[in-house]
Every structure is written in C-alpha cells, then in structure tokens.
Copies of this chain bind each other. A is one copy, B any other.
Amino acid sequence: MQRELNEECAVAGVFNHKDASKLTYFALFSLQHRGQEAAGISSSDGKKMHTIKDRGLVTQVFDDVKLTTLKGHMAVGHTRYSTAGDDSILDAQPVYARYDLGEMAIVHNGNLTNAQSIRDKLISKGAIFQTFMDTENLIHLIAKSEQGKLVERIIDAVNKIEGAYSLIIQSRSKMFAIRDPHGFRPLSYAKIGEGYMVASETCAYDLVGAEYVRDILPGEMLIFEKGMEPQSLQIMPSTPKHCIFEYVYFARPDSNVYEQNVYTLRKKMGIQLARESAIDADMVIPVPDGGVPAAIGYSQASGIPFEMAIMRNHYVGRTFIEPTQEIRDLKVKMKLSPIKEMIQGKRIIIIDDSIVRGTTSRKIVRMLKDAGAKEVHMRISSPPTTDPCFYGVDTPNKDKLIAANMSLDEIRDYIGADSLAYLSVEGLYASVGGEKSHYCTACFTGEYITS
C-alpha cells in the first residue's frame, strides 16, 4: 500500500547524555516514516527548557545551529502526521507548559478516546485549550491534579484518560515514559553511554548505536532520574491490546515491535497467505516497498519465483503539473514503474500489505495489464480492512473503506484483478504468534476495546 494510512506520530527521548538533543534528532530521523508533517524537540538543561518545533521533515526543521540551542542532558522529540489545517503549526509537539511545579514537555503517540469528555469537563471548570491536540488534556490533568508530587500527578492524570498513549514526559530534571494499559502503540527503551533512550521503534537505536533493553510494559511507567537506575512502576493493570497493524504496515521492517521483528513477521504473513490462497502463476511481485517481505515469503512457500518487477521511483516529490491527455494514472506511475519485459505475457501474483480505498490497487492492476500481464492475481497479506481506527491511525470513515462496502468478488471486479485473496484473521494471528487476545484487531474485526 502506498502510504495511504498515516499514524499520528513517533516519540523519542534521551536522558543523561551530553548529546541529548542531537541523539533525539537522529532517533526522530529513523522514525520519520511515522509522521512527515512536523517535528519538534524540547531539551532541559536542568534549569530551563528549550523547544524548537516546526512544519517539515526532521532534516528540514533542525540544523546544527538550532540543535546547539537545545541545551542540556535530556530531550524529548516528536514527528507528526498532521491533517492540514489552519493551525497545524500550533499542533506540533512537544507540548510545553509552565505550571505550579515548574515546566514540563510532553510527547504523545496515540489517540485519546475520551478526550472530548475530559476537555468538556476541564473547560467547564475554566480551563482554556489553545491547540487541537489530545495531549493538551493531559497537561491540564497533571497541572490540576491534587496530588503533590509530579509522579503522583502523572499517575492520577493517566488514570483519567482512555485510549492509546505512548508518552514521554520531561520535567526539568526527570523523564517519565508511560504506555497505556493496553500497550496499543509500541514503546521501548535502550541504553546509550551512561544514559538512556526511549523510542517508538527500535530502529532508532540501531542508527545511533544504542542498546535495546526492553519494551515498556502496558500500564508501566518508567522513571529516569539522575544517578539512579530507571525505576519501574506498574501504575495501571496490564491488559495488552497491541495494534496488529503495526506489524502489517506501520513499523519499519528492521524494527522489533512488541519484541518481534517486523520483517520476519511480514514474511510469515506471506508464507501463510501462500498456504491459504495458492494459485499457479509465473512470478510473485511485491508492491514496493510495503509488500516486499510478504512477497518473499509467498515466493518461498509457493516455489513461484520472486521478481522485483515493479520499481519504485526515488525522485518522487511534489509535482503540480497537470498531466496531458496521453497520461493516465499519472500519480501512481510517477511512483511505481512496471518492468514490461518481465510482465508481458506472464501470470502475475501481486502482493500488497493492505487495501484501504481500493483506488491505488485498481491503478496498479491496470498498470500491470497495460504492461501485458496475462493474469493478475492480487494477494493481500492482511485481512480486509473493514473498520476505522480510533487509536491514532488516520483511517478514512467506514464508508470509504472498500472492504466495508463491497464483497470480495465486487472488490476483485473493481480493482480489475483475475483473482483476489486476503489473509484470514486466523492466518494473521498464526503469523504473528502470541496470545490472540493481546492484539487489537479492530480494523479487521470491528472489535473495539473501548467504546
């Protein structure tokens, strides 16, 4: 799938390292795939916090001069996918505030399902909201908590919120990493030098040379304090509901998510898919880059040769030039190019990770047929996406999800494939392993944890 879905963000934090903001920068660079619209870092030098956030990619927002102003031995950072709006710049993170205990900066990956009711309650008591981010709720709850110490206030506050939240909270001298009781979104920590790094995905550690320690647990708060080992508090009962779509689509293949490697699992999905819906063909082709591991798995399981017969263009950027009459499906063709010689006269199995609206799949099938494919069999390495996500993924409404509105045959006809098969939900479970009930599969099953 060509990045039609967007997670709302990635978080990263570094504690007790002289290059805290620089390491946070590199961590965010590794997590760029989780949000390309805005980026920000807040550092603390013990006395004062420093924040820079702006629209753009991590490499565009920061330069050496700016990183130098982000002084201190700790920092938290964020990359954001933000829906275009009037105030998008204001909705970049970290969210920073002064409050009765001093200063704090928060970064948040996820989505609060009771944000509206909390906001209404806070507003009725005189609170003001200056942004459109759920995270602002949390700041208010912490600031208004009647507990004395920050750690108690954070516990107090997170017990009032519902939904998905992987959080890093920075005070002037401490850092707190918290994962919601369901562990919807990934969050782990690593050791770097004498300090620590917290990040949404482990690929951040590989770039900077940090050593992965373990995932933060559902309902756990990890407290980083100078001169001490990280302290763990289980502040809420753990009832795991890990987002299974991280495995299917979001996470980078080189990351370990929920302690399993993403590439490996995607390949397993492809193997399982080959078992469930085998078909005779001349080659297996992935839709790059998302479909690659599953296609390799499918090929190995089926014995049908894997070919990279659709290439991805690396110079895609924004072009605003209107196509001419001759050109159809221009946008897809500027990103993906079929290798005609390979495809012509061949029976193709094309592997993608998911279908959301169906429009891109339709164009890809047409592109393959135009290139002379004799048969095009589409295989999807996840179950039909039938329901929207309320935990931080920017899915379209149910009426836009093709699998919520058409039968399998109708979808096949719409996209123009000779056959179409999805991975079964059971097959997905089998591929990822572990306890089924520990995954959130709402987007495939409509079974939501919270209302």
Contact = CB atoms under 8 A, between A and B. Distances in A.
A63 B98 contact: no
Interface in A79-116: 86-87, 89-90, 95-100
Contact of A340 (B51, B95, B206, B318): B206
Interface stretch (A301-309, A380-388, A421-429): A301-309
A382 B78 CA distance: 43
**What 7 A-B pairs come out closest when comparing CB atoms?**
A261-B341, A126-B144, A97-B128, A209-B326, A19-B324, A32-B315, A98-B129
Given A263-B341, A337-B252, A328 B67 contact: no
A95 B307 CA distance: 41
Given A324-B208, A327-B209, A254 B129 contact: no
Chain copies in complex: 4
A208 B30 CA distance: 34
A222 interface: no
A339 B128 contact: no
Contacts of A23: 324, 326
A166 to B, nearest CB: 21
B264 A98 contact: no
30 contacts: A22-B324, A26-B327, A29-B315, A51-B87, A59-B315, A63-B320, A64-B320, A64-B321, A69-B86, A90-B96, A96-B130, A97-B128, A98-B128, A99-B128, A100-B123, A100-B124, A100-B126, A127-B127, A203-B337, A208-B327, A209-B326, A253-B308, A254-B337, A256-B341, A261-B339, A261-B341, A261-B342, A263-B342, A292-B308, A296-B306
Interface string A288-318: 0100110010011000011111011011011
A408 interface: no
Given A96-B130, A123-B99, A308-B292, A64 B322 contact: yes
B86 A99 contact: no
Contacts of A209: 326-328
Interface of A: 19, 22-23, 25-26, 29-30, 32-33, 36, 50-52, 54, 57-60, 62-64, 67, 69, 86-87, 89-90, 95-100, 119, 123-124, 126-131, 139-140, 143-145, 192-193, 203, 206-210, 252-254, 256, 261, 263-264, 289, 292-293, 296, 299-300, 305-309, 311-312, 314-315, 317-328, 330, 333-334, 337-342
Nearest to A3: B314
A136 to B, nearest CB: 8
B321 A192 contact: no
A193 B52 CA distance: 43
A34 to B, nearest CB: 11
B309 A306 contact: no
A207 B333 contact: yes
A320 B206 CA distance: 20
A296 B320 contact: no
Which of A263, A264, A312 has the most chain B CB atoms closer than 10 A to its own CB?
A263
Contacts of A311: 252-254, 263, 289
B327 A25 contact: no
Contact of A306 (B22, B254, B306): B306
A287 B337 CA distance: 20
Contacts of A206: 333, 337-338, 340
Nearest to A63: B320
Contacts of A318: 59
B128 A340 contact: no
B339 A254 contact: yes
Contacts of A36: 315
B128 A139 contact: yes
A432 to B, nearest CB: 14
